[in-house]
Amino acid sequence: GNSVTQMEGPVTLSEEAFLTINCTYTATGYPSLFWYVQYPGEGLQLLLKATKADDKGSNKGFEATYRKETTSFHLEKGSVQVSDSAVYFCALSDGGATNKLIFGTGTLLAVQP
Amino acid sequence: NAGVTQTPKFQVLKTGQSMTLQCAQDMNHEYMSWYRQDPGMGLRLIHYSVGAGITDQGEVPNGYNVSRSTTEDFPLRLLSAAPSQTSVYFCASSELDGGAGNTIYFGEGSWLTVV
């Protein structure tokens, strides 16, 4: 079945450091890929998405490129801030009637000043 | 600017009690769903609905009931609470146009503890 694997955390970085959170997926067909962010005590917010191979999603300085050949959707940011501290979830959707999202286990990012 | 609204935000239940988590959305979305979030397991789908009067089971439906009498509302009922149902619950909604790229919008979560 479809699944998402993302790197375990926590990831601890200093402010202005480069961030990569790895995400790989297993899916039949052509899923859409998402990154959601969850700030402390809040719900999930869509950070970015890509709906087909080679698409790049971007938002708030974060980027991720849909790589079909490596089945990956790694999240990157060039210079993190303390306010980026949160849990990041990679997810996929294969559409269809269920519109179901399959999530990775989440990666906690802690950015220190 | 309400989006997806869940109540209550926090609840403590005793084993065996029943309760209903409320969810409402004001975006006229056809699709609504409930997820639970547990440490180290990401989010798992409990139940979902593709329109009023239509519901179906997700990955972890046991112990939960849902109904969808209106487009706006999708309550989740715990029939007889168990400690294993201690979790954070998220309601979500989206359009349903057959594509895989629909953005799913989440509520702020309901923290449930069963003692």
pLDDT tens digits, B78-87:
999 999 999 9
Within 8 A by CB and 6+ apart from B113, the residues are B11, B12, B13, B86
Token pair 């993190």 in the structure block, residue = A80
Within 8 A by CB and 6+ apart from B87, the residues are B36, B37, B38, B112
pLDDT at residue number A40: 87
B103 to chain A: which residues are within 8 Å by CB? 46, 49
The lowest-confidence range among A24-28, A58-62, A91-95, A103-107 is: A91-95
Q: How far is A112 from chain B (nearest CA, A)?
A: 23
**Residue A41 binned pLDDT confidence (cut-offs 50, 70, 90):** confident
Asked whether the predicted pLDDT for residue B98 surpasses 60, the reply is: no
The percentage of chain B sitting over the pLDDT mark of 90, rounded to a whole number, equals 83
Mean pLDDT score across all residues of chain A: 92
Respond yes or no on whether the N-terminal peptide bond of residue B8 is cis (omega within 30° of 0): yes
Asked whether the predicted pLDDT for residue B90 surpasses 90, the reply is: yes
**Residue A29 binned pLDDT confidence (cut-offs 50, 70, 90):** confident
Residues 77-106 of A with CB under 8 A from B: 89, 93-101, 103-106
Length of chain B: 115
